[in-house]
Amino acid sequence: MPKSESKFEGERIAKRLARAGVCSRRDAERMIAEGRVAVDGKVLASPALNVTDANIITVDGKPIEAAEETRVWRYHKPAGIITTSRDPQGRPTVFDKLPPEMPRVVSVGRLDFNTEGLLLLTNDGELARHLELPANAWLRQYRVRVHGVIDPKKLALASNGVTISGIRYEPVKIVVEKEKEEGTNHWLAVTIREGKNREVRKIMDYLGLQVTRLIRVAFGPFPLGKLPRGGIEEVPRRALKESLGKFFSKGMDKKAMR
């Protein structure tokens, strides 16, 4: 069969939307189900479609931009804003706070409303999906201020993994920052690998500790560093390629290799 007739030509529409920075693959499928995506003027009813550069793709009637070179930003999320593009309750969102010159970006995972610290943003939804996959096992590091009595035996339980409300959480590393700290307020250094929904808070609750502050200080090789609260800084191209070499080597962003 000639290449031009192959049903495998191009790439899936959801992947193209993700790579153009419109949204994640999962959100793309939802947008298609809502009738918001059209290809060459025809509204899609299913994500089971391959597209090429020759197709005109629109979302809510507006053409999407061509996939750009993959870029990543570090953002110091303050507490009191939500990691979503829209909030029915009208709360301020991460995307409301970004500089006007920023391109369209998606977040790599989420931080809940009251959690602060490092949030990665990218213009490549396919990269966001890659970084979020549990199989890639990127470490997430947090500083956690808790109120309660530290029980070494309970900390040891978490280091072997625990099951909470029927959900299994993989081993968590917890280090008390000041061993001789007095009173019932403590700072802990917590490292997790999975990043399940509200994982750190649920584990602290399981240990009988009340979280009073939660700050993500690193995601994989990307640190929060001295980035000020509310600050945003692009990851240099060289550092990005060094950290994400496997992603680029799969040919998922050939432009980024130039």
Q: Which helix (H) or strand (E) holds 35?
A: none
What average pLDDT does range 253-258 have in this prediction? Answer: 40
* Distance between CA atoms of residues 239 and 195, nearest Å: 23
Least-confidence region, from 61-70, 118-127, 131-140, 177-186 = 177-186
Catalytic residue, chosen from 112, 124, 205, 253, is 112
Say which residue, 122 or 133, is predicted with more confidence: 122
Checking DSSP bridges between strand 37-39 and strand 162-164, what pairing results, if any?
unpaired
Q: Which residues does 26 contact at the CB level (< 8 Å), separation at least 6?
A: none
Active site residue 112: yes
What average pLDDT does range 73-81 have in this prediction? Answer: 96
* Distance between CA atoms of residues 235 and 241, nearest Å: 10
Q: Tens digits of per-residue pLDDT, 97-113?
A: 899 888 888 899 889 99
Least-confidence region, from 15-29, 32-46, 190-204 = 15-29
What average pLDDT does range 74-93 have in this prediction? Answer: 90
Checking DSSP bridges between strand 116-122 and strand 210-219, what pairing results, if any?
parallel
pTM confidence score: 0.75
Domains of the chain: 3-63 (3.10.290.10), 72-135+221-257 (3.30.70.580), 139-219 (3.30.70.1560)
Q: Which amino acid is at 142?
A: Y
For the chain, what's the residue count?
Answer: 258
